[in-house]
Structure 1
Amino acid sequence: MGDSRRLIVVDAANVVGSRPDGWWKDRAGAARRLLVEIAGLAARLPAADTVVVVLEGAAKGAVDGAEPSAPRMRVVTAERSGDDKIVEVVAAATGYDRITVVTSDRELRARVEADHAETVGPSWLWNQLP
């Protein structure tokens, strides 16, 4: 039997916004710092796991072709609503045994749970990071 495959989808705006560290002064910089940390996490995860980080608004400035990367980590930008993009990523996901969405947004949680994803809050992700 093969490894269980898990997709972790990160609501970057929600995770960054969960810590009052001045992120609002430089949204792209805060998103870039989060990407660096998630790249480190992605490299340590089991080989069957994939992480998708969704960026929206000013945070999309973190993606300039030189953003941090890691095996099994993808960065997706939302043209409009980050929540809608997350729902789209979850709905399009195939071949995964588990889908975990990292967010504390109640409405988004309900939307992705309706599509059989589980949800965890930002503290879960922060606890996984060094």
Structure 2
Amino acid sequence: MARVRTVLVVDAANVVGARPDGWWKDRAGAARRLHEALLTAPVPHDVVVLVLEGGAKAGVRPGRDAHVRVVHAARDGDTEIAKQAREAAEAGREVTVVTADRALAANVAGVARVSGPSWLWDVLEETT
């Protein structure tokens, strides 16, 4: 029997915003740093979907880079994150969404597990 592929959908704005490191001065740079960290981190998922919105979109082009796929939200990030989670679940994937946004977490509860930004930061720091 084939193993079910796992997908991690990352609310980039929420994850970056969880650390008061001056990210608001350079949203594009913060998105780029998060993307780079996800490329090398020991994330326990087959695919990572990094959803960018607003000024952060200037930091990383949309598309796939190794196991990380960058998606630029056409509207708001929450709508795109929910869409990505649903599409992955409908394709038979096990989905985890990383966010601290309670409304978004409630919106994806039927299709995904939810982990907070601190969990992802812990994983990312394993490589440093």
TM-based fold match above 0.5: yes
- Matched with 1:57 is 54
Using the size of structure 1 for normalisation, the TM-score is 0.87
Q: 1:52 to 1:64 in 2, by over 3 A?
A: closer
Q: What percentage of aligned pairs have identical amino acids? A: 53
- Residue segments in structure 1 that go unaligned for 5+ positions in a row: none
- Matched with 2:87 is 92
1:79 paired residue among 68, 74, 79: 74
Tell me the number of residue pairs that the alignment of Structure 1 and Structure 2 aligns.
123
Please tell me the residue identity of whatever aligns with 1:73: V
CA RMSD of aligned residues (A): 1.9
| Cα shift readout 1:74-98 (whole Å, capped 9, x = no counterpart) | 00000210000001111111131x1
Find the aligned partners of 1:64 and 1:79 in 2 and give their Cα distance.
14
Query: How far apart are 1:45 and its partner, in Å?
Result: 4.7
- Residue segments in structure 2 that go unaligned for 5+ positions in a row: none
Runs of 4 or more, structure 1, over 6 Å off, are: none
| Cα shift readout 1:65-124 (whole Å, capped 9, x = no counterpart) | 7x9x6422100000210000001111111131x10000000000000113x200000011
SS in 1 for 2:7: strand
